[in-house]
Structure 1
């Protein structure tokens, strides 16, 4: 294992899909990485092994943004984890990635559905970010994984996309209010990515794949590492003069 030095990132939902590829891209760039997972500890441990094989430090904690009463406990545990596994260093980067997908037409949306979307994709992200920023090193950064669906509209995703749009606004306010500390804040808006998101809605649907490819100038589907590399770029000195920006990463879908 390397000496205790360098930068540390926290990636929520880093056990699978886009979050996993963000964690691996950060590790390849020389960053030590902590990840969160909601239910699948085995997947999380596998990602940790991949990171350690690159010579980087790694650790995982459980986090469920649908249980906001547990958030202070998570923050306390994360502070302990930084001391134990990362040499007591402060956090440099937070990547807010954790979430879920579910298509619900507006006419069928319930209060309970909305509360879950709001807790996981907006309220939970806001207050996790607030608490993590208080323990973050100056000159770090926050990345919010949002959705290109807040620009183009896909029936059934109104609540999901509305929360992601709200987070993009919040990201700009983080940039404004924390810029004096040198902390940058940007959002990444993926389009249709081939993962298990929303029960593998794209991966398992040949018709959806054909439509996406037909509307994408680059002529292919998106993959999780397409997003991972962009997020890792934002968590680097190469992006030191970027803040308050929304990067849509879709291969040009629906231009």
Structure 2
């Protein structure tokens, strides 16, 4: 991954942050996006720069497709300014939100927000950025273990992630002639602020989830970054159109 350029959405914290730090440790330069947490995003970029790699943080609301043309222009400018290049190598569609609700109380507003962030945004951002992705590049879409097993309250969220997995397979077929691989990574329960918020009313659920995992614990962001780095490495060149679950063996 030496001297590759990776663009990771939603990388100011959690999984995206660890992906950025891990890929930088493997020799990549990183462009991260954030929606609101500019200070946290700049701290991630600074940590990467301190290791000797280049990094840049840009604001982006992935739910706002009207912002994508301007964002693409920003990427073009940054590529020239910082790297004297016209293309980047790796796109990770990681940005996400949580809005748990059972089927009978899922509102159109919550459904639409999940759709805009988790599927529509990833779909059209990838389309917009595709001309800037280098030949033999990598696209990683973040899915969820919830497409395999069912957890109450996540019917809408998991449906969007199911759509992302179908998108992944179709896109891999369409981009194969360019040597671009497209894969989905499906984390299980990861001990982040997302999970803390989801279990705030019932903290005992975290222990339950750990007992339902073959490896006996919740995942942590560091369990995911290395998997993404592997898929984006030269060693991952023959893997495409796949859903790779990294859950520690949840609900087997």
Please indicate, yes or no, whether the TM-score normalized by the shorter chain is above 0.5.
Answer: yes
* 1:103-137 deviation per Cα after TM superposition (whole angstroms, max 9, x unaligned): 11111112211111111000110000111122111
Partner of 1:143: 140
1:194–1:202 Cα contact (<8 Å) kept: no
Structure 1 position 139, deviation (Å): 0.3
Residue of structure 1 aligned with 2:107, choices 84, 107, 110: 110
Residue of structure 2 aligned with 1:207, choices 201, 204, 207: 204
Question: Are 1:52 and 2:49 matched, yes or no?
Answer: yes
Question: Are 1:37 and 2:34 matched, yes or no?
Answer: yes
Match runs of 1:1-255 below 5 Å: 6-197=3-194, 200-202=197-199, 206-255=203-252
- Structure 2 vs 1, CA of residues 28 and 204 (structure 1 numbering), >3 Å: closer, same or farther? farther
Aligned residue for 1:138, secondary structure, equals strand
Once residues 85 and 197 of structure 2 are traced to their aligned partners in structure 1, the CA distance between those partners, rounded to angstroms, is 39
- Structure 2 vs 1, CA of residues 101 and 161 (structure 1 numbering), >3 Å: closer, same or farther? same
Structure 1 position 17, deviation (Å): 0.2
* 1:87-108 deviation per Cα after TM superposition (whole angstroms, max 9, x unaligned): 3251100000001112111111
Aligned residue for 2:30, secondary structure, equals strand
Q: Structure 1: which 5+ residue stretches go unaligned?
A: none
Once residues 25 and 205 of structure 1 are traced to their aligned partners in structure 2, the CA distance between those partners, rounded to angstroms, is 32
Structure 1 position 219, deviation (Å): 0.9
Once residues 236 and 133 of structure 1 are traced to their aligned partners in structure 2, the CA distance between those partners, rounded to angstroms, is 19
Once residues 126 and 159 of structure 2 are traced to their aligned partners in structure 1, the CA distance between those partners, rounded to angstroms, is 19
Structure 1 position 192, deviation (Å): 0.5
> TM-score if structure 2 supplies the norm length?
0.96
Structure 1 position 201, deviation (Å): 2.6
1:22–1:232 Cα contact (<8 Å) kept: yes
* 1:173-212 deviation per Cα after TM superposition (whole angstroms, max 9, x unaligned): 1110001100000000001000011653358854112111
> TM-score if structure 1 supplies the norm length?
0.95
